[in-house]
Amino acid sequence: MKLLPFLISIFIITSFSATAQQSCMTEENIKALDAKWEEANLNPDPDFMESTLAEGFIWVHNHYSSVDSKESAVEKAKRQKANGGNNNTSRVQRDVEVVITGNTAIVTGFTYVDRTENPANYHFMRTYVEIDGKCLLIGNHTMAIPEEE
């Protein structure tokens, strides 16, 4: 009978260990998720946005002086997808850095957006948070970089 408590203890320790290993809050996972965010903006993907944006998501675009919520970002992606996409031909990230503290990750870097009109470089800062084992994008701030810089 002493074997049963031992086996239960091993099961519990293994379960906690497996749960900890399944955290999405790793640099590798966050960089991959952020690259998918860029892809979803290049090729509008409302399903990805719906499943990846937190309910309180906010996107501040200082180059347009506008703000998007989860609802408006998803609706914009739906419209773009229905209209055959947007005018972006590529989105290339560089100098991507990730800082993780607890259940929160801050991602910074630059994205060059090539489009048929007005290609531009953007400096970005995005905030991901782990909720119930899933990493969600809760905040995005993009700043257009003037051409002379």
| Chain segment 89-137, per-residue pLDDT in tens | 999 999 999 999 999 999 999 999 999 888 999 999 999 999 999 999 9
Cβ–Cβ under 8 Å, residues 35 and 52: no
The DSSP code for 146 is P
Say if 108 falls within a structural domain: yes
- Domain total for the chain? 1
Cβ–Cβ under 8 Å, residues 114 and 39: no
Task: Give the gyration radius of the chain's Cα atoms.
Answer: 19
Q: Return contacts of 50-53, CB within 8 angstroms, 24+ apart.
A: 50/74, 52/136, 52/137, 53/136, 53/137, 53/138
* Structural element, H or E, at residue 56: strand 53-61
Tell me: pLDDT of 15 over 60: no
Tell me: pLDDT of 19 over 50: no
C-alpha distances in angstroms, 130 versus 10, 55, 97, 141? 27, 13, 18, 19
pTM over 0.75: yes
In total, the chain counts a number of residues equal to 149
Say if 102 falls within a structural domain: yes
What is the SS3 assignment for 4? helix
Tell me: pLDDT of 20 over 80: no
What is the extent of the structural domain holding 114? 24-145
Can you name the residues that pair with 135 across neighbouring β-strands? 130
What mean pLDDT is predicted for residues 71-85? Answer: 95
Say if 5 falls within a structural domain: no
Distance CA 39, CA 53 (A): 14
Task: State the CATH number of the domain containing residue 66.
Answer: 3.10.450.50
Say if 10 falls within a structural domain: no
Say if 19 falls within a structural domain: no
